[in-house]
Amino acid sequence: MSLFGRTFADGDRLDVAGAAVRLKVNRRARRVSLRLDRTRREIIATAPSARRLAEAAAFARQRSAWIAERLAELPAASPLAPGQLIEVFGRPVRLDASAGRARWIEPIDGSTPRICAMGEGEGFARAVILTVKKKALEVLTARTAHYAQALGAPMPKVSVADAKSRWGSCKPGPRGTAGVIRYSWRLALAPFEVADYVAAHECAHLLELNHGPHFWAHVKALVGDERPHRAWLRAEGARLHAFGE
């Protein structure tokens, strides 16, 4: 529908007082509403039908003060620069500027690891993130192998991506064959125990494609009480997604 001559479609984006607002149709919704997507750092304006998207856009403009308040609650963006200390799987890691390809340096004396990368600004940040992604794949592959073996399941193919809506996903293979597990690379920014829980969670899906009692029994057998780890991700997830922004 149109508002002041403009036609809106599902997925359109607006700028409301400097904030990103995305229009969304949800046919199960009963009314126009706004909510904050903490992961994507944007406001979702939902309408029950495409015909009411103009109403959702108008409602977002009327609630500009509310939108500003919600966005102000988000963790500050975390740009990356040489000299910073970040945490990777709970370990402090220093960022250093250097020539050559980005690389992870593990000191033999057990002192603080370093990520060395060339460039500055966005180029430096991209190189650091690429290195963290590689470390995420290395560690999460190892933990997946550990839990798949504990469950008696074939080792799945493992990959990492920048998923915004979930920390991991599992697609089991046909009976007796390997499946596929994908993780958010940002799990590398969480404490090891939290990332390890996600690996156990996804491996449990190799046996149970649901979140029923049998599934949670597998998870508890692998890592014990999962509730603190789930609570940590709910509380800190937005901060992980602000990393490098």
Write out the residue range of the structural domain in which residue 135 sits.
Answer: 85-242
- Say yes or no: 194 and 118 in one domain: yes
CA dist 38 and 25 (Å) reads 19
The pLDDT averaged over each successive group of 10 residues in the chain (245 residues) is 64 86 91 85 90 91 89 78 94 93 91 90 92 97 98 95 91 85 97 98 95 97 97 91 79
Placement of tokens 């050559």 in the chain: 100
- Say yes or no: 105 and 192 in one domain: yes
- Say yes or no: 56 and 109 in one domain: no
pLDDT computed for residue 243 by the predictor: 85
Backbone angles phi, psi at 74, to 5 degrees: -70, 150
- Say yes or no: 55 and 142 in one domain: no
Is the residue at 80 inside a domain? no
How, if at all, do strands 13-16 and 19-25 pair?
A: antiparallel
- Say yes or no: 66 and 119 in one domain: no
- Say yes or no: 152 and 217 in one domain: yes
Is the residue at 234 inside a domain? yes
SS3 231: helix
Q: Which of 72, 97, 116 is the last residue of a domain?
A: 72
Q: Which of 72, 95, 116 is the last residue of a domain?
A: 72
pLDDT computed for residue 42 by the predictor: 86
- Say yes or no: 52 and 96 in one domain: no
DSSP state of 212: S
Give, in degrees to the nearest 5, the angle at Cα 168 between 206 and 177.
25
Is the residue at 77 inside a domain? no
Is the residue at 10 inside a domain? yes
pLDDT computed for residue 154 by the predictor: 93
Q: Which of 13, 43, 72 is the last residue of a domain?
A: 72
pLDDT computed for residue 1 by the predictor: 43
For residues 57 and 45, the answer to whether their CB atoms sit within 8 Å is: yes
CA dist 38 and 43 (Å) reads 8
- Say yes or no: 42 and 114 in one domain: no
- Say yes or no: 95 and 67 in one domain: no
CATH of the domain at 237: 3.30.2010.10
Is the residue at 55 inside a domain? yes
Backbone angles phi, psi at 108, to 5 degrees: -75, -15
- Say yes or no: 39 and 149 in one domain: no
Is the residue at 128 inside a domain? yes
- Say yes or no: 108 and 223 in one domain: yes
pLDDT computed for residue 105 by the predictor: 95
Token duo for residue 244? 């490098």
Is the residue at 109 inside a domain? yes
Is the residue at 62 inside a domain? yes
pLDDT computed for residue 41 by the predictor: 80
Q: Exposed, middle or buried, 197 (CB in 10 Å: 0-12/13-18/19+)? A: buried
For residues 80 and 97, the answer to whether their CB atoms sit within 8 Å is: no
Q: What is the pTM of this model?
A: 0.76
pLDDT computed for residue 96 by the predictor: 94
CA dist 35 and 46 (Å) reads 8
- Say yes or no: 119 and 19 in one domain: no
The count of structural domains within the chain is 2
CA dist 132 and 93 (Å) reads 10
